[in-house]
Structure 1
Amino acid sequence: MKAVIQSGGRGTRLRPYTSVLPKPLMPIGARPVLELLLHWLRRSGIEEIYITTGYLGHLIRSFCGNGEQWGINIIYTQEIEPLGTVGALSLLREKLDTTFLVLNGDILTDLNLSAFTGSHRRHGGPLTIATTARPTKLDFGVIDEVGDVVVQFREKPTLVNHVSMGIYCMEPDVLPFIPNGTPFGFDDLVLCMMQKNVPVHTFRHSGLWLDIGRVDDFHKAQEIDWDGQVPSHQAAAI
């Protein structure tokens, strides 16, 4: 199993901190997000990892090197211009020749990768999205109406939606949908596949998931003992 860590973004949600450091190198305690991600992948038996870089990519390469300190092999790509959330996969067409993982470089989770990839293989489709439930507190009164008549009013409700965790299991069949040299987002990929009636599956996760690009999640991550933690959903080797 190969994994691609997407690390080319500018981290605009965490400015001004990311004016100095790329988002994957933002510190969580004594370690950057990216190192915690690499440890998680290594514990799950993944040893071949590609890191796509763009903004401040030289800092990521300087920190991680070739990965030998963690018992993994790291290969880098460099975006000359931003290619979006999955556009950088076009630079790895010849390398991604079997089932592979794609994940954002700014997330922390205890997702069981063995269960995730097992579900992907069982349904046999080309793409599986890891999802989780996320509450959103609205600061407005929400009106449900039929015509111009109010049928329900909810004052500042909390809505729960299932959201993408930024972790995907893919087959090489996905790569032809991604154009060369053109910014291309994951939303573009999913819409393109749906338009061509290619199924996109999901895998629901109920454990830990933090999006470090959000200030609230970044602060929550600081409260966790990542060295001492044994995640309840940690995967066995794939």
Structure 2
Amino acid sequence: MKALFLAGGLGTRLRPLTEHLPKPMALVGNRPWLEHLLLHYKDQGVNEFVIAVKHYRELIESHLGDGSKYGVRIDYAVEKELLGTAGAIKNAEHLLSDRFIVVNADIIHQVDLRSALRFHENHGGAATICLTEVDDPSHYGVVEQTDNGRIVRFIEKPKKEEAPSNRVNAGIYIMERRALELVPSGRAVSIEKETFPLLIDNGSGVYGHPIGGYWMDMGTKERYRQLHWDLLDRRFPVKIEGKDMEGKGIWLGDNVRVGQGVLFVPPVMIGDDVTIGDRAIIGPYAVVGKASRIGNQVRLANSILWDRCKVRAGAQLNDCIFGSGMQVGPHILHEAVCNRNLEVQRR
């Protein structure tokens, strides 16, 4: 079975971080999320992947390649223009198997795929929508189901008081190839508004299966921060690179140079080849990307730095997110999101 990762979008709500970057390539714990996702599905038994790409496709292709370094095979389906979820699947149809998995690649999750596959095999329908339960379903696609899991209605972003359930589309689908017979070629097609309603109406069988595990849409800066705090608190159990120093929630990568009098306030994650100056205070809730340079007496808390950042001596940063290669200081910054020098957004 193959998995199709939909990775063509930019993620406008994560700007400026993803202004020139596909949203699934945003760093999560100092590694592109798309790489985490690939490894998670490999662990679930998938070893053939198709990645739908459009914006800045070369960044994805150059990083993941043909998959051989991960022990998997990767093919790419290129969209000349954005085709919507169903349109992107149709565009990749020639690369897919008779049964395949579709994943919105910007959704953060760790789930038990085998349980969903068993459910799909047993019901015999054309599609299974993996579902997750949320407190407020008004921002998502909500389903109404029968007792056996068959979906009878699919409602996109209803008002909270009008939602038939709190089970929402998790952005993960198991589909049979015959489901694509209803999808027109060469134009944008919404799977939620067009394809699934058609499959429901003609009796093809669309079912919903609740999934456990961690799930989050990282589509806003607030959720992106929370994702990292969950990672550091191990509520999101993705692998953290580096050594956990005596189990204290302080992870240090290879070749980290720590100056005199540095204080780590856990939880803290430091990437490879990082230099931290004398008497710096790092944490709590700090993620520092690879090859970054932290100056003397820097105070860094509740902040995420991507790779190759430079923070000059004396800077104080709280609730900040910096894109790769950012240089700052000596400033006092609070709730700043930057993707290049001197481009700072404050709330």
Given the two structures, how large is their TM-score scaled by the length of structure 2?
0.57
Q: Is the 8 A contact 1:210 1:218 kept in 2?
A: no
What are the within-5 Å matches in structure 2 for residues 94-109 of structure 1? 94-109=94-109
What are the within-5 Å matches in structure 2 for residues 30-69 of structure 1? 30-69=30-69
Q: Distance in 2 between matches of 1:46 and 1:101?
A: 9
Q: Distance in 2 between matches of 1:28 and 1:10?
A: 16
Letter in 2 for 1:164: N
Q: Is the 8 A contact 1:6 1:53 kept in 2?
A: yes
After superposing the two structures, state which structure 1 stretch, 215-224 or 31-40, moved more. Answer: 215-224
CA shift, 1:215, in A, is 2.9
Bigger RCO (CA 8 Å, 6+ sep): 1
Give 1 or 2 for the bigger CA radius of gyration.
Answer: 2
What are the within-5 Å matches in structure 2 for residues 208-219 of structure 1? 208-219=214-225
Q: Distance in 1 between matches of 2:172 and 2:221?
A: 20
Structure 2 residue ranges without an equivalent (≥5): 139-159, 233-237, 242-347
SS of the residue 1:17 aligns to: coil
Q: Is the 8 A contact 2:106 2:217 kept in 1?
A: yes
What are the within-5 Å matches in structure 2 for residues 157-168 of structure 1? 161-168=166-173
Is residue 181 from structure 1 mapped to residue 186 from structure 2 by the alignment? yes
Structure 1 residue ranges without an equivalent (≥5): 139-155, 230-238
Q: Distance in 2 between matches of 1:196 and 1:49?
A: 30
Q: Is the 8 A contact 1:54 1:81 kept in 2?
A: yes
Q: Alignment length, in residue pairs?
A: 211
Q: Is the 8 A contact 1:9 1:55 kept in 2?
A: yes
Letter in 2 for 1:206: G
Superposition misfits of 4+ residues, deviation over 4 angstroms: none
Letter in 1 for 2:217: D
Q: Is the 8 A contact 2:131 2:209 kept in 1?
A: yes
Could you tell me which of 223, 227, 235 is aligned with 2:239?
A: 227
Distance verdict in 2 for CA 1:215–1:137, change over 3 Å: farther
Q: Is the 8 A contact 1:33 1:107 kept in 2?
A: no
Give the helix-richer structure, 1 or 2.
1
| Superposition RMSD in Å | 2.1
Q: Distance in 1 between matches of 2:63 and 2:56?
A: 12
Q: Distance in 2 between matches of 1:12 and 1:100?
A: 28
CA offset digits 1:4-49 (Å, max 9, x no partner): 0001112112122111211010011210110110010110111100
What are the within-5 Å matches in structure 2 for residues 111-190 of structure 1? 111-136=111-136, 161-187=166-192, 188-190=194-196
Q: Is the 8 A contact 1:5 1:103 kept in 2?
A: yes
Q: Distance in 1 between matches of 2:17 and 2:38?
A: 22
CA offset digits 1:113-139 (Å, max 9, x no partner): 11111100000111000101111299x
